[in-house]
Amino acid sequence: VGVIAIEMITGQHPKQLKDQQQLNFLILN
């Protein structure tokens, strides 16, 4: 899941890469 997809899903842009990775994990699982 890329940053754009996360923005579409959450409506927010992850401020840190770690936050993005956590969102990816939560979304995929």
Phi and psi dihedrals of 23, rounded to 5?
Answer: -65, -40
Whole-structure pTM value = 0.29
CA distance linking residue 25 with residue 3, whole number of Å = 13
Taking the CA atoms of the chain, what radius of gyration do you get in angstroms? 8
What pLDDT was estimated at residue 25?
72
Does pLDDT of 28 surpass 60?
yes
| Crossing angle for the helix pair 17-28 and 3-10, to the nearest 10 degrees | 70
pLDDT digits 0-9 by tens, 11-24: 655 555 566 677 67
3-state class percentages of the chain: helix first, strand second, coil last, to nearest 5? 70, 0, 30
- Cβ pair 10, 27 in contact under 8 A: no
What pLDDT was estimated at residue 8?
67
